[in-house]
Structure 1
């Protein structure tokens, strides 16, 4: 049974005109990233009389990260699934209109190269670091995937979080990002971050903790420094939920979906065009995405990763089952207060109409 939404936190981000649509993307090589790059998203929205505005170009004066809580009734959000699950459970009335291709990496457990840890089972009784933001007005979105990766790694080793000490490494996450003119500018800013400057990595290097969970991209950089080694890689297991439960999603404000379904279909048409283009041009897609990075993967490696996935938006049964797995984790560890039915959240008619329009 769905629990009524709790009272929203903070003010909604409003638009300047009735036909203005806000959109926002997480920094990653998804279909809409390329649709925006080619101008297709703006083109498709213009056909139905809508004006497109990038949410991240609007200053977040209340430090609420509206991208995370879906804090606008005119917003189409695309990105990782744990913020929209939190938003739907506790903050905002939204509809799920598509799932997206999943990055097959699940993260890696890193330890110091000089340590005598060779498998996760060796960490029994040891300290695993986990970043914890102080801003409690939003979901601690950076903590969630690391926390889940740690729990999954422990379970694979026959351990639980009671067999280790999870050390919270607090950090100030009140400060919001500077506005970005477009998604590529924001992606480039993310790419310029040095993984060794992260507080959990510093704590690991100093010996304050014994292990951390790192994303695959950061793990490649950190192990390449020679200072750290991986003792677990979640992508190497047959259990698809270790990676597949994190599939990105596209969600929309319920009000926007009800009042302007044509805007939603137009956005998805652009995303479908972007996904089909990526499927046919993985090398060109890798070159475009790497153009915004100061510390890129090799273009060829990224092209190979892109070529192994289908970038056309979908509502695949496995992706929807993965959302249930993710929601269960968020409930179990207190990241969300209210439960809801994933099936009731899904609004398939928009994607069906967009696909049928070609």
Structure 2
């Protein structure tokens, strides 16, 4: 499998280099609007949007940005697959698996190091449920194909249950919060900053987070067509993500103050959420996709994925390579 991914990565790299050379001969001077999709939990992209940093860095490439917000990762990558986006901001590790099953031609641009405590299974404080095993027969809300979906499957398996043992309710984070608060669901599986908001604003308990169950890595992706055509743009995006990730961890209060009006959350809640995310941006290597295969196999075993996939059947962007 490593040989397969190495060949695919080499082909993608050669294609990117060739495309980069073509743009260097005049194509890159043409105006370009880069369609970038993101969601509320796309912290680094949200900060770059507020600061206007990415636009400034892309201006020398004669490129501008159009911003497109989505409720969760699955519709974001569906838009990427349908060629309605060029780049996807970070989505949980589960989401690309579903996109691959739908036939998407993906290039992995970057990943954030694991943040397992940044998603959790919640119950109300007065709930009689005391363990994941108690979820048997209960109604559990979560976003379909989100990292929370895999956390639930993995936690149930660890507790000796299967996904078929619960009553699933596919809900966006906003709808999940509303259903949770009115008692329409028994438990809610969600990620930060929605997790931190619930912990600070409602009376909740954590049944389990991802620690020792699901590492929760987040990936930045592009359509392979765009990655081959504009590696220069992806290098700028990667560099700004890496820089911003370091800045957030070094300046938690300043980052929270910037995000507060954007997210509609108080700064303390955002600090709590950000403390659980690694924001350590790094290139994607084949070895890092091992958990992707475990996720894919888990969903396929539960008959939640339409077909078996090879998680290595993707292209990997190499930010250090320059086009000639």
TM-score of the alignment, normalized to the shorter chain, above 0.5: yes
Question: Is 2:62 aligned against 1:93?
Answer: no
The alignment status of 1:296 with 2:263, answered yes or no, reads: no
3-state SS, counterpart of residue 257 of structure 1: helix
Task: Give matches, 1:308-347, under 5 Å.
Answer: 309-315=278-284, 319-347=288-316
Q: Any residues of structure 2 matched to 1:35-184 within 5 Å, and which?
A: 35-56=48-69, 65=75, 67-70=77-80, 71-72=82-83, 75-80=86-91, 81-105=93-117, 107-124=119-136, 126-130=137-141, 141-142=143-144, 144-161=146-163, 164=165, 166-169=166-169
Between the aligned partners of 1:279 and 1:212, the Cα distance in structure 2 is 28
Residue 244 (structure 2) pairs with residue 274 (structure 1):
yes
CA distance in 2, matches of 1:312, 1:111: 32
Shift of 1:75: 0.4
Q: Secondary structure at the match of 1:249?
A: strand
Any idea what SS the aligned residue of 1:288 has?
helix
CA contact (8 A) 1:112 1:228 kept: yes
Q: What is residue 256 of structure 1 aligned with on the other side?
A: 226
* Structure 1: distance between partners of 2:94 and 2:278: 21
CA change 1:331–1:217 in 2 (3 A) is same
Unaligned runs of 5+ in 1: 3-16, 58-63, 132-140, 174-189
Structure 2 partner of 1:177? none
Question: Which is helix-richer, 1 or 2?
Answer: 2
Question: Measured at CA, do residues 310 and 220 of structure 1 come closer, stay the same or move farther in structure 2, by a change above 3 Å?
Answer: closer
User: Is residue 94–residue 145 contact of structure 2 (8 Å, CA) maintained in 1?
Assistant: no
Return 5+ residue gaps in structure 2 as ranges.
Answer: 5-29
Is 2:214 the partner of 1:243?
yes
**How many pairs were matched up?**
291
CA drift at 1:194 = 8.2
1:287 deviates by: 1.7
TM-score (normalised: structure 2): 0.72
SS at 2:282 equivalent: coil
What TM-score, normalized by structure 1, do the two folds share?
0.66
Partners of 2:67 and 2:221 in 1: how far apart? Answer: 15
